[in-house]
Amino acid sequence: MLIMGGAVFADEVCELALLNGRVIDPESDTDIVRNIGIKAGKIFYLGTEAVETKKTIDIAGLVVSPGFIDFLSYDQNGTGEYYKAADGVTTNLSMHGASMVNFEKYFENTKNKLYLNQGGAISQIRLRYSVGLMDAYQKPSTVQIQSMCELAEKAYANGALGLNLSTEYLPGTTFEEELELAKVTKKWNALMTGHIRYSTMFDKKTNIDAIREVIELVRQTGVSFQIDHINSTGGTFSMAASLDLIKKANEEGLDITLDMYPYDSWATYLASARFDGDWQKRFQITYKDLQIANQPERLTEEKFKTIKKMKAPYNNPLTVAYAVPEKDIVTALLFPGMIIGSDTIIEPDKNNHPRGAGCYARLFQKYVKETKLLTLTQAIAMCSYYPARRLEGVSSAMKNKGRIKEGADADLVIFDPEKIKEKATVESPGEYSEGIEMVLVNGRIVKDNAGIVKGIFPGKPVKRDSSYFTLKKSPATLPAEVKKVKRIEITPVDKGLLSGEKQITSEKTAPLPASPITGEK
Ligand SMILES: [Zn+2]
DSSP assignment of 375-438: -HHHHHIIIIIHHHHHHTTT-GGGGGSS--STTSB--EEEE-TTT-B----SS------BSEEE
The rounded Cα 459 to chain-centroid distance in angstroms is 16
The Å distance, Cα 431 to ligand 1 centre, comes to 23
* pTM to 2 decimal places: 0.90
The Å distance, Cα 229 to ligand 1 centre, comes to 7
Three-state SS for 237-294 is: CCHHHHHHHHHHHHHCCCCEEEEECCCCEEEEECCCHHHCCCHHHHHCCCHHHEEECC
Asked if pLDDT for residue 421 goes beyond 50, the answer is yes
Does residue 214 sit in helix, strand or coil?
Answer: helix
What domain count does the chain have? 1
The Å distance, Cα 243 to ligand 1 centre, comes to 18
Distance CA 350, CA 342 (A): 15
Strand partners, 191: 162, 224
The length of the chain is 521
Residue 296 lies in a domain: no
Asked if pLDDT for residue 5 goes beyond 80, the answer is no
Summarised one tens digit per residue, pLDDT across range 113-163 is 999 999 999 999 999 999 999 999 999 999 999 999 999 999 999 999 999
Q: What is the pLDDT of residue 11?
A: 61
Confidence of residue 518 (pLDDT cuts 50, 70, 90): very low
Summarised one tens digit per residue, pLDDT across range 270-316 is 988 889 999 999 999 999 999 999 999 999 999 999 888 876 555 68
Give the contacts of 362 (CB within 8 A, at least 6 positions apart): 262, 263, 355, 422
The Å distance, Cα 257 to ligand 1 centre, comes to 15
Q: List, in sequence order, the alpha helices (H) in 131-232.
A: 142-157, 175-187, 207-221
Asked if pLDDT for residue 37 goes beyond 90, the answer is yes
The Å distance, Cα 343 to ligand 1 centre, comes to 7
Residue 380 lies in a domain: yes
The Å distance, Cα 192 to ligand 1 centre, comes to 14
From the list 412, 455, 335, the residue with the least C-alpha distance to 68 is: 412
Asked if pLDDT for residue 502 goes beyond 60, the answer is no
The Å distance, Cα 286 to ligand 1 centre, comes to 21
Confidence of residue 498 (pLDDT cuts 50, 70, 90): low
From the list 59, 19, 35, the residue with the least C-alpha distance to 438 is: 59
In the chain, the percentage of residues whose pLDDT exceeds 90 is 82
Residue 51 lies in a domain: no
The Å distance, Cα 434 to ligand 1 centre, comes to 27
Summarised one tens digit per residue, pLDDT across range 459-480 is 999 999 975 544 444 434 444 4
Residue 200 lies in a domain: yes
Long-range contacts (CB closer than 8 Å, 24 or more residues apart) made by 276-285: 278/203, 281/202, 281/203, 282/199, 282/200, 282/202, 282/203, 283/199, 283/200, 283/202, 283/236, 283/321, 283/323, 284/200, 284/202, 284/237, 284/323, 285/321, 285/322, 285/323
> Mean pLDDT for the chain?
89
Q: What is the pLDDT of residue 182?
A: 98
From the list 317, 340, 345, 351, the residue with the least C-alpha distance to 498 is: 345
Residue 73 lies in a domain: yes
Confidence of residue 447 (pLDDT cuts 50, 70, 90): very high
Strand partners, 47: 35
Widest distance between CA atoms in the chain: 78
The Å distance, Cα 228 to ligand 1 centre, comes to 6
Lowest mean pLDDT, pick from 347-356, 420-429, 486-495, 499-508: 486-495
The CATH number of whichever domain residue 344 belongs to comes to 3.20.20.140
Summarised one tens digit per residue, pLDDT across range 380-395 is 999 999 999 999 999 9
The Å distance, Cα 73 to ligand 1 centre, comes to 10
Residue 44 lies in a domain: no
Residue 315 lies in a domain: no
Averaged pLDDT, 433-458: 97
Distance CA 312, CA 107 (A): 28
Structural domain of 125: 67-269+322-402+457-477+492-509
